[in-house]
Each structure stands twice: as structure tokens, then as C-alpha cells.
């Protein structure tokens, strides 16, 4: 394995021996990666971040400092999780059962957040499971996502609502005609239909 492909796990990180860390990935100071988590090639897990048991991450994902990615979250290739983001996993959280006894792992069913290819979740955003963030979507910093986000959507607010569309560069698309949009950086054209958008080919 070349130096470029080497996996880097700093001494202060807590990485389970049962986790799978892809070639070229880095796990930084005080981060925790739990058992059966799978990180693809070229991933970065920042300082103090938490990757829960059985979480699946594709290649070239970035989970920034102090983000909390709870199981059973699934991140596709190229996903960006900003600083202090939380991907939750309990729709009806309680510390105790109705009889007052402390809840155990067997007393509730975790549900996950799925994040599509190339999507980004901005700093301190919260995604309340179960939700799906579509491919190349952008969740603004501080947003609270309580329902699915379409591919390429730009969402913001509490609760998060769509305020525009973004291209693969992450830059907000500009309108260029009826139901037509263009990325100002790549010049790629898109067309919308109801609440969906797609690239214009050819």
C-alpha cells in the first residue's frame, strides 16, 4: 500500500477493532468509530466526531468535528457532514419506559437518516430520523430536517423548507427560463417538474 492509500488513525481516536476503515481514510483526535461501522476509501472523520454502530459510509465522505452520526445512518459516496451536525435515530426518545424502568437497547427500534451521493449537511443542522436527503442536496447550517429532501434541493430553516436548487458544485442554480435552471459555475442546465429537478442532457 502506498503512503497515499494508507489509513491514518491518530492515537487518541477510539476505533473499534470490529469497524472497517477504508484505505486512505483518516480518523482524527478524540473521534469514536463504533463496532461494525464501515467507512469507504478516502473518508475523513474529524475531531470528536461519533460514528455509531453499523453506520455505513461510502467513499470520500467527510464528517467534520463533533458531528454525531447515529446508527443506522447510511451515507453514500461524497457526502459532507458539517461540524456539530446530528443525525438522530429515535423518533420517540425517552430515557425510561412507562413503568419508570431505564430503557435498554431492546426497548426501542432505531431508525436512520439516509444521505444521498454528494449531498451536504451544514454546520449544526439536525436531521430527525427517519428522513432521506437526496443526492447533491444542500441542507443549510442550523436547519432542522423533519421530512425528506429532494435531490439537488437547497433547504433551510426550522423546520427546513426548500428555498432553491443547487448543482453538483453546491452553488445555487439560477433561473434561465420557464422550469429551466443553470449552474453559474459549471454551466450545466437543469429542468424542474413539480418538486423534482434533473440535468438536461445533450
Query: Tens digit of pLDDT for each residue in 138-158?
Result: 999 999 999 999 999 999 999
**pLDDT tier for residue 195 given thresholds of 50, 70 and 90:** confident
Mean pLDDT, to the nearest integer, of 170-194? 95
pLDDT greater than 50 at residue 1: no
Domain membership of residue 154 (yes or no) is yes
Read off the pLDDT of residues 107-116 as tens digits, 9 standing for 90 and up.
899 999 999 9
pLDDT, averaged across the chain = 95
For residue 191, the surrounding DSSP H or E stretch is strand 189-193
Write down the pTM of the prediction: 0.94
Question: How far apart, in Å, do the first and last CA atoms of the chain sit?
Answer: 41
Mean pLDDT, to the nearest integer, of 119-130? 98
Read off the pLDDT of residues 82-104 as tens digits, 9 standing for 90 and up.
999 999 999 999 999 999 999 99
Which residue is it, cell 454525531? 68
- Whether the CB-CB separation of 192 and 167 falls below 8 Å is answered with no
Count of domains for the chain: 1
CATH number, domain of 97, equals 2.160.10.10
pLDDT greater than 80 at residue 201: yes
Domain membership of residue 181 (yes or no) is no
Domain membership of residue 187 (yes or no) is no
- Whether the CB-CB separation of 137 and 152 falls below 8 Å is answered with yes
**Structural domain containing residue 55:** 3-166
pLDDT greater than 70 at residue 171: yes
Closest CA to 58 of 25, 88, 11, 84: 25
Closest CA to 32 of 4, 1, 71: 71
Quote the CA–CA distance of 92 and 153 in Å, as a whole number. 27
Mean pLDDT, to the nearest integer, of 182-196? 94
DSSP 163: E
Read off the pLDDT of residues 25-77 as tens digits, 9 standing for 90 and up.
999 999 999 999 999 999 999 999 999 999 999 999 999 999 999 999 999 99
Domain membership of residue 192 (yes or no) is no
Q: What is the DSSP code string of 11-77?
A: TT-EE-TT-EE-TT-EE-TT-EE-TT-EE-TT-EE-TT-EE-TT-EE-TT-EE-TT-EE-TT-EE-T
Three-state DSSP class for residue 106: helix
Domain membership of residue 185 (yes or no) is no
pLDDT greater than 90 at residue 194: no
Domain membership of residue 140 (yes or no) is yes
Domain membership of residue 102 (yes or no) is yes
pLDDT greater than 80 at residue 4: no
Mean pLDDT, to the nearest integer, of 163-179? 95
Quote the CA–CA distance of 36 and 22 in Å, as a whole number. 13
More confident residue, 51 or 194: 51
Domain membership of residue 86 (yes or no) is yes
For residue 8, the surrounding DSSP H or E stretch is strand 8-9
Amino acid at each position: 500500500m502506498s503512503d497515499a492509500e494508507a489509513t491514518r488513525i491518530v492515537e487518541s481516536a477510539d476505533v473499534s477493532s470490529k469497524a472497517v476503515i477504508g484505505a486512505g481514510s483518516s480518523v482524527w483526535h478524540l473521534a469514536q468509530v463504533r463496532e461494525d461501522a464501515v467507512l469507504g476509501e478516502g473518508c475523513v472523520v474529524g475531531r470528536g466526531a461519533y460514528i455509531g454502530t453499523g453506520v455505513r459510509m461510502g467513499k470520500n465522505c467527510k464528517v467534520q468535528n463533533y458531528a454525531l452520526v447515529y446508527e443506522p445512518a447510511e451515507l453514500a459516496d461524497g457526502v459532507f457532514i458539517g461540524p456539530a451536525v446530528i443525525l438522530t435515530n429515535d423518533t420517540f426518545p425517552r430515557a425510561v419506559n412507562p413503568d419508570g424502568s431505564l430503557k435498554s437497547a431492546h426497548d426501542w427500534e432505531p431508525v436512520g437518516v439516509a444521505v444521498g451521493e454528494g449531498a451536504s449537511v451544514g454546520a449544526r443542522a439536525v436531521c430527525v430520523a427517519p428522513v432521506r436527503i437526496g443526492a447533491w442536496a444542500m441542507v443549510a447550517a442550523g436547519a432542522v430536517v423533519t421530512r425528506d429532501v429532494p435531490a439537488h434541493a437547497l433547504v433551510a430553516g426550522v423546520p427546513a423548507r426548500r428555498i432553491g436548487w443547487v448543482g453538483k458544485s453546491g452553488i445555487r442554480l439560477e433561473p434561465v427560463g420557464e422550469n429551466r435552471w443553470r449552474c453559474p459555475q459549471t454551466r450545466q442546465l437543469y429542468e424542474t417538474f413539480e418538486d423534482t429537478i434533473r440535468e438536461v442532457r445533450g
